[in-house]
Amino acid sequence: MSAEKSIPLSRKYEAHGQVFDSVVLRAPKLRDHIAIGDPIEAHRGPDGNGRFVVEYLDRIEAYLDRLAVPGKPGRECLDDLDLTDSIRLKEAVIDFFTEARERLAKPTNSSSVAANPSTSSAT
């Protein structure tokens, strides 16, 4: 995962003396995750089928406060984005977590153990 993600916006904005058409967010770190928690939760439906997602907008806002890279354009410039671009930023925050969970779900590559017999336990 890249340390920063650039999110293109639907148009140019001007705020606090900056003109911008994209926003750069840094990847969350342990300290951010511990302080804020998960921005969404996925739950199964009552019958065990289907799935619904609960978004915690206050947590997403807290992540934007921490992750917006100053000068690119910086958190102070984001409050007046239109709805389309607000949703883009919200989804970008959620994507950091979705991508991390997908990486966790992938099986680890065990070929390095098989390729190096000295690391296997022989009896």
| pLDDT tens digit at each of 123 positions of the chain | 569 999 999 999 999 999 999 999 999 999 999 999 999 998 888 888 878 889 999 999 999 999 999 999 999 999 999 999 999 999 999 999 999 999 999 877 655 444 454 444 444
Q: What is the DSSP string of 23-71?
A: EEEEPP-HHHHHHH--SEEEEE-TTS-SEEEEE-HHHHHHHHHHHBPTT
* Overall pTM > 0.85: no
Residue 122, pLDDT score: 45
| Spatial separation of the C-alpha atoms in residues 87 and 93, rounded to whole Å | 10
Residue 21, pLDDT score: 98
Residue 80, pLDDT score: 95
- Closest listed residue to residue 95, CA positions, set 11, 24, 27: 27
79 Cβ neighbours under 8 A, 6+ residues apart: 15
